[in-house]
Structure 1
Amino acid sequence: MRGKTHCAIGVLSVIQASLFFKIPISIFNLILSAFFSILPDLDESNSIVSDFFLKKNVSKFILKATIYLINIAIFFISLKINDNFYISSVVTFIAIIIIEAKLTHTLLRKIFLSLIFVFLAICLYLINVKIYFSIFCLMLATFPWLKHRSFSHSIFATVLIYFLLKQIELIYNISNLAFFGTISYASHLFLGDLFTKSGIPLLYPISNKKFSLGFFRVGSGFNNILEMLFVLLLVSLIIFTIIKM
């Protein structure tokens, strides 16, 4: 499913859960649910949540700047070693070809996305924030390196998310943080990607088998209509629940 559909489903799921269990909901909870509903796709470098932390145009600029700086460094190092302008130019030209082939935009985005979360984890630790925040950030730092729809789309990731959020909730007395965060995260799996034809590996890493109830095929016009109908179904369910209350 598309990121915006996951986001809508996550928010609607949290609203429905708050009505069903009679738990008060706030704007903070809705923002939280929107974030956690797209969080599993952090394992995809071109996803909405990845772009939230690092814009594509920024990472493309960083890529160009990095390549230029490396090539300049290679040129001057080569010039210092052999003291020949022409040989250094040839060496630099060959280096440009190799570096541009190996250092891709996707690879660089993964590196910088991971570094953002590692840096955040270190900062939180240094200012004496409870360790669970740092652990949570370090877990997110691994997501960009995961194969798409692997651990982040499993039951075990959902349980781990609940555990970390619950510890943070207890420490800082944030009402229903784990409840709403986990429901929105789980909505990505059980009300989203589980219904795609490719499915998700719910038992990863124990098993790579993908489970699917699928009829959604991401990218097609017909699929976009199905996604809209699915969202409208959830809206109708919420309205029905409110009427019955």
Structure 2
Amino acid sequence: MQSNRDETSGYFHEIVEEHRQTLDPDHIRDFVDAYLVQHDRIKESGQDSFFSEKQLIQVMNDIFSAGLENVTSTIEWAVLFLMLNPNVQRHIQAEIDQVIGQSNEAQLGDIEHMPYTEATFWEVLRRSNIVALGNTHSTLEDSSLAGYSIPATTHILPNLYAINMDPELWENPEEFNPDRFLRNGRVYRPEYFIPFSVGRRMCLGDILTKMEVFLFLTSLLQQFHLKIPDGEQPPEVASIVSASMAPKPFKVSLVDRSNGSILK
């Protein structure tokens, strides 16, 4: 894992150097340009700052991992849960047909009119527990919690898995049920639901992940039903344990909604 991280950081370092050599402050091309310009401004002013190349590369690592591995895992879990819950799948398809239509391309703004689809996204995150532990925080002063003394500078990791599967917070937490994120037909996110952690260092992928998964799943379910392949047993809901929890490999059949044929 460390070797992969070092290799990725080296690649990002090359990107930063390339941007540095071709930087034009009057024509910002992307995030790296914007960061470098701000870094130079703060440096020239003599202010203390966390802006550094090391920090920039760390942010690039965060964006890359959140935008690739976690999004991919979320889509895999969504396909698995929808395949195992055809009623949920049909409900989403009804929203797709009503809001988007059967031939139009989904737009990011469509999700505002598809509460059940958005609720399903949140339920996928809750039930899959893709990231079991949140970002590390540190206590600013001595404190106590539930009888435990916590000294200043103690590293604290939010246990997201424990929150997502707590029966005192969720009725039948093992059950996949998007309705738990709906109230009177509107999307409802309880304050204790924190799949992207909390605080200033919470994951930047909140909106990014939701939009990417929304566009992929609506495009998929617009054209296909997801079903367990004939002759196959329902796959177990189990994770491959790693930094990001992906489901164990499973098979799925794509059935064309227009003619019932199975995609080979």
Structure with bigger strand share is 2
State the TM-score, normalizing by the size of structure 1.
0.28
TM-score normalised to structure 2 length: 0.26
